[in-house]
Each structure stands twice: as C-alpha cells, then as structure tokens.
Amino acid sequence: MTDYVLNLENINKRFGGLSALSDINMSVEEGTTHAIIGPNGAGKSTLLNVCIGRLKPDTGSVTFAGETLTGRAPHEITQLGVARVFQTPEIFQEMTLLENVMIPALSYRDGSFRLNAGQKLANQHEIRDEAEHILEDVGLQDMMQTEAGSLSRGDKRRLELSMCLILRPRLLLLDEPTAGMARHDTNRTIDLLKKIKSRGMTKVIIEHDMHVVFSLADKVSVLSRGQIIADGDPQTVREDPKVKEAYLGGAQ
Ligand code: ADP
Ligand code: MG
C-alpha cells in the first residue's frame, strides 16, 4: 500500500467572488518530491498557505502523517515536522546568517521550547555546528557573520531554506524557490534541492516555471484557475494538451 504523508481532501477557498481553490484533492507520497505548477494567479500560494495553517479553507481538510492540520496554529504545524519557504523570504534582517539559522532550532526543534535555560545553552554549541554545516551546504559559508539584510535576493532565499533545514522537517514546502533568481543562482538552487532529495525528506515544490521542476519532481500536479487540471509523472503531465493550453492561454 502506498504511504501518503500529506493528504488534501475537498479543499475549497473563496476570496469574495473569486474561487481561488475548487475541490482540491491531492496526496503526497512519503520521501518523494511533489511539484505543484501553474500560471501566475492559479492558486498555488493559497494552497500552500492552507497547508501550513496561514489560511483556513472554507471546506475540506489537510492531514499530515495522520494528524489533521486544518484549524491548527502555524507554530503547532511546524512542531509536527512541517517547514516552509515562502515566496518572499522571512528572515531576521539585522541578525547574522549564523544567528538566523540557529534561531529556528533553538525555538522549535525537538521540543526545545520546553527546555530550561541550562539545557538550551548546552544545545547551543551543537546547533551552532549544525548551522555552520548547513550554511556550507547551501554555499553561504563565507558570509556566516554577515547581516542577513545585506544579502542578495537569491542568497536570502538560500538562507531561508537553511532555516528550514535545521528543523530537520519531515515535510518541506517551498513556494517558488528560484523566483527572482538569475539563471546561475537558479541552477545552483536546483542542484541543492536535488541534494536534499537524496536525504529522504518529503518535499512539495510550488513553481510557475515548469522547466525548473521537471528535473526534480517525482509527481506533478497542475493548477489552473484554482483547479487541478492534470497530475502524474512529469513526462505524462508535460505532454498533456490541457497543460499546454493552460500555459499558453494562461496569465503567464
Ligand atoms: P499563485 O501563487 O498561483 O500565483 P495565488 O494563490 O497567490 O496564486 O492567488 C490565487 C488567486 O487568489 C489570485 O487571483 C489572487 O489575486 C487571489 N488572492 C490571493 N490571496 C488573496 C487574498 N488574501 N485576498 C483576495 N484575493 C486573493
Ligand atoms: Mg504564488
């Protein structure tokens, strides 16, 4: 039997007269990379925000590893093992890169919010070592003591990814991880995401540029005007006439 770690059932979300998500049903297999693609305005970010508790769906439910996520606060969802990278990076501008990566681990990981001050201090050395390793992995090792606010847009996104990786999430959600990046940075980020893939973490990648995800994804779901119009392996989806039409006729 296939082991689905994330299940979305009958999700509907309206913004006034606009149906942003209609009857979304989707399942993500444990350990795989699942891409959600679609033209701008298709509802991709809305879907991600529903998964992480930032938006409440009008109907339907999201379950993760047997736990219902719908109705839970975003920090509870993080503690269940779900991390996300937003379309606009959310980082601590005035802190160094190293501090930025350490903070999520000190706040959330392994129930660290319950530890006393002494235990936190002991943990800090270990977390610092790990943060340094992650920053090396993403190629930011030369800027560990730099203030995050001074980074380029591409580097900010890599920093935010590092802040997620230190949580060792079971599920990582990425909203357009290469948006606004130059070609060189895009390729570097794709290579990095491939490297993470080999570590067995489940990933949901949202992307409007379908070429970015085809080399990464095991499964692809295509959203257009709030509906899933196709899903399956990348090759099948790429050749689906409905997908071609959505992209050619869509609000690219
Ligand atoms: P995508 O991420 O695929 O580009 P979004 O999920 O951001 O699309 O948006 C889907 C649709 O919902 C768009 O038409 C957008 O304008 C609308 N929308 C998104 N968020 C809101 C909101 N908070 N209030 C009203 N409309 C919204
Ligand atoms: Mg979006």
CATH code at position 23: 3.40.50.300
My answer on whether 125 and 52 are in the same domain is no
Query: Which ligand 1 atom minimizes the distance to the CA of 21?
Result: 10
Q: Answer yes or no: is 193 within a domain.
A: no
Query: Which ligand 1 atom minimizes the distance to the CA of 43?
Result: 6
- Which one of 124, 147, 168 terminates a domain? 168
My answer on whether 107 and 152 are in the same domain is yes
Say if pTM beats, i.e. exceeds, 0.75: yes
Query: Which ligand 1 atom minimizes the distance to the CA of 87?
Result: 2
- Cα(54) to ligand 1 centroid in Å equals 13
- Cα(175) to ligand 2 centroid in Å equals 7
Which residues are CB-neighbours of 15 under 8 A, at least 6 positions away?
none
My answer on whether 2 and 70 are in the same domain is yes
For the record, the structure tokens of 139 come out as: 């190629």
My answer on whether 104 and 174 are in the same domain is no
Q: Answer yes or no: is 194 within a domain.
A: no
Protein residue whose Cα sits closest to atom 15 of ligand 1: 41
My answer on whether 16 and 35 are in the same domain is yes
My answer on whether 173 and 244 are in the same domain is yes
Q: What is the pLDDT along the chain (252 residues), one digit of tens a residue?
A: 678 999 999 999 999 999 999 999 999 999 999 999 998 899 999 999 999 988 999 999 999 999 999 989 988 898 899 998 876 668 999 999 999 999 888 877 655 556 677 777 778 889 999 999 999 988 899 999 999 999 988 888 889 999 999 988 999 999 988 887 888 888 888 888 888 877 789 999 998 877 788 888 999 999 999 999 999 999 999 889 998 888 766 444
Closest ligand relative to 223 C-alpha: 1
Q: Answer yes or no: is 190 within a domain.
A: no
> 61 pairs with which residues across the strands?
9
My answer on whether 50 and 174 are in the same domain is yes
My answer on whether 109 and 40 are in the same domain is no
- How many domains does the chain fold into? 2
Phi, psi of 225 (to 5 degrees): 45, 45
- Domain range for residue 239? 1-81+169-178+199-252
- Cα(176) to ligand 2 centroid in Å equals 7
- Which one of 125, 147, 168 terminates a domain? 168
Instruction: Kindly list the protein residues whose Cβ atom lies closer than 6 A to any atom of ligand 1.
Output: 15, 18, 20, 38, 40-46
Protein residue whose Cα sits closest to atom 20 of ligand 1: 46
- Cα(44) to ligand 1 centroid in Å equals 8
- Cα(176) to ligand 1 centroid in Å equals 14
- Tell me how far apart the alpha carbons of residues 104 and 224 are, in angstroms, rounded to a whole number: 34
Q: Are 101 and 166 in contact (CB under 8 A)?
A: yes
- Tell me how far apart the alpha carbons of residues 107 and 242 are, in angstroms, rounded to a whole number: 45
Q: Answer yes or no: is 221 within a domain.
A: yes
Closest ligand relative to 37 C-alpha: 1
Q: Answer yes or no: is 188 within a domain.
A: no
My answer on whether 11 and 134 are in the same domain is no
My answer on whether 58 and 162 are in the same domain is no
My answer on whether 77 and 120 are in the same domain is no
- Tell me how far apart the alpha carbons of residues 213 and 205 are, in angstroms, rounded to a whole number: 8
For residue 95, give the 3-state DSSP assignment: coil
Q: Could you tell me how many residues make up the chain?
A: 252
Reference 210, options 251, 171, 162, 244; nearest CA is 244
Protein residue whose Cα sits closest to atom 6 of ligand 1: 43
For the record, the structure tokens of 41 come out as: 């305005």
CA distances from residue 222 to 45, 204, 230 in whole angstroms, order as listed: 13, 13, 5
Beta strands in the chain (DSSP E): 4-15, 18-29, 33-37, 59-64, 67-68, 82-85, 171-175, 202-207, 219-224, 227-232
